[in-house]
Amino acid sequence: MSDANDASALVKLVDEPIDIVAISETLSDYESGAHSLFLGTTRRTTQSRQTEYLVYDAYRPMAKSELSRLAGEAFERWSLKRLVIVHRLGRVDLGEASIAIGASAPHRKAVFESIPWLMDQIKSCVPIWKQENWSDGTSEWVHP
Amino acid sequence: MTATTAIEVKLFAGAQSLADADVLVVKIPHNATAGEVLRRIGMQCQPLQSLLPACRLAVNLRYVEDDFVGPPDASLALIPPVSGG
């Protein structure tokens, strides 16, 4: 638990499994009474099709830049104390996390509101792409 | 005759698959707008035409509007609809 009185954001793109424990430790803050962690994981069934695994690609420097910009906006809008956004790239198997967003703030409303907003923004403007690799051996990039 | 210059445009995901390349070299007029760059990409790489209307252009790591004119040494990327998260 940290008693530092500074607000901070951590944005990372990683090529290995997301370290949830490290995120929890980063969120720790004596001035925050609310901590929330969202994990987006690889789901098996989409409509009637079965996913074998996902692959994520990114335009890395721009993705990092956009994530940092969004983190800054979230900080300002909800007065967060800590914010961590980690997106995994490469192959992500069933049940594994492709994204983690953790936030801490003095009160719960800030973390309950900021994380869905961040996810919506990430899904609309951060240059990261998902490739579905189906159980029948076919694959396709997802461009909604 | 309008002078042209060759620029490199980075490709990703479905655009990369359709073009079968991760970088596209496109000939554009000097001081071309982003909209003109997108139009030239479609003209010079037919397989991308189906995806192009949904794509945005990024210049130096930022999305730009169609009337934007970037510097000559700008880094360009074609950004298809994103699906991270």
A30-44 tens-digit pLDDT: 999 999 999 999 999
pLDDT of residue B72: 85
- Token digits of residue B77: 């990327």
Alpha carbon dihedral A48, A49, A51, A56, in 10-degree steps, equals -100
Q: Decide if pLDDT at A72 tops 90.
A: yes
Question: Which pLDDT band holds residue A64 (cuts at 50, 70, 90)?
Answer: very high
Q: Decide if pLDDT at A109 tops 80.
A: yes
Query: Searching chain A, which residue's CA lies closest to the CA of residue B62?
Result: A62
Q: What is the CA radius of gyration of chain B?
A: 12
pLDDT of residue A9: 82
Q: Decide if pLDDT at A1 tops 70.
A: no
What's the gap in Å between the CA of B71 and the closest CA on chain A? Answer: 18
- Please compute the mean of the pLDDT values over residues A73-89 and round it to a whole number: 96
Q: Tell me how long chain B is.
A: 85
Question: Is the CB of A128 less than 8 angstroms away from the CB of B84?
Answer: yes
Query: In chain B, which stretches have pLDDT less than 70?
Result: 1-2
Q: Which residues of B touch A129 (CB under 8 A)?
A: 12-14, 80, 82-84
Task: Check residues A1 and B25 and name the one with the higher pLDDT.
Answer: B25
pLDDT of residue A7: 66
Question: Which pLDDT band holds residue A65 (cuts at 50, 70, 90)?
Answer: very high
Percent of chain A with pLDDT over 90: 92
Question: Is the CB of B58 less than 8 angstroms away from the CB of A127?
Answer: yes
**Which residue from B33, B15, B23 is spatially nearest to B82, judged by alpha carbons?**
B15
What's the gap in Å between the CA of B18 and the closest CA on chain A? Answer: 11
